[in-house]
């Protein structure tokens, strides 16, 4: 079946602009995660959804970052007033349940965001 998909694959924007990044999780997966991966580093957690609600948003760096998942499937990560330091690959992952020890997170290919 289809894996996690993310669009766009690449996004170039100018400092100060607003961007939206989309994630389509694996069908039937109730848990969805966003991570940010800077060059040469491991992914860093941003936010976790269980269904439609954000169960943990402790990784969002500041109030310019916001994410939604209105119908419990597709999620959108929104970044306002982008800064050059926001440049990174934004990864989305989904898992079947989210509440089991053996629950596996499956990652999408990411969106590479470049802020000029």
**HSE, side-chain direction, 13 A CA sphere, residue 107:** 12
Determine which residue in the list 17, 84, 85, 100 makes contact with other proteins, applying CB under 8 A: 100
Give me the least distance between CB of 116 and other proteins, in Å please: 21
Residue 32 touches other proteins, criterion: CB under 8 A: no
C-alpha span between 19 and 82 (Å, rounded): 8
Residue 107 touches other proteins, criterion: CB under 8 A: yes
Residue 98 touches other proteins, criterion: CB under 8 A: yes
Determine which residue in the list 41, 53, 62, 70 makes contact with other proteins, applying CB under 8 A: 41
Rg (CA), the chain: 13
Residue 88 touches other proteins, criterion: CB under 8 A: no
Q: Which two tokens stand for residue 45?
A: 């957690």
Residue 48 touches other proteins, criterion: CB under 8 A: yes
Q: Which two tokens stand for residue 8?
A: 């766009």
Residue 102 touches other proteins, criterion: CB under 8 A: yes
Considering the complex, state which of residue 18 and residue 44 has its C-beta at the smaller distance from other proteins.
44
Binding site for other proteins (CB under 8 A): 4, 31, 33, 35, 40-45, 48, 50, 55-56, 58-59, 91, 93, 97-110
């Amino acid at each position: 079946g289809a894996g996690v998909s993310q669009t766009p694959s690449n996004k170039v924007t100018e400092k100060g602009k607003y961007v939206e990044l989309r994630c389509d999780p694996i069908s039937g997966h109730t848990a969805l995660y966003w991570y940010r991966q800077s060059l040469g580093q491991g992914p860093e957690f941003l936010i976790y959804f269980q269904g439609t609600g954000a169960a943990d948003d402790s990784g969002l760096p500041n109030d310019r970052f916001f994410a939604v998942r209105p119908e419990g499937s597709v999620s959108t990560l929104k970044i306002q007033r982008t800064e050059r330091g926001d440049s990174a690959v934004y990864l989305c992952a989904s898992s079947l349940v989210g509440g089991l020890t053996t629950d596996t997170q499956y990652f999408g290919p990411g969106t590479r965001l470049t802020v000029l």
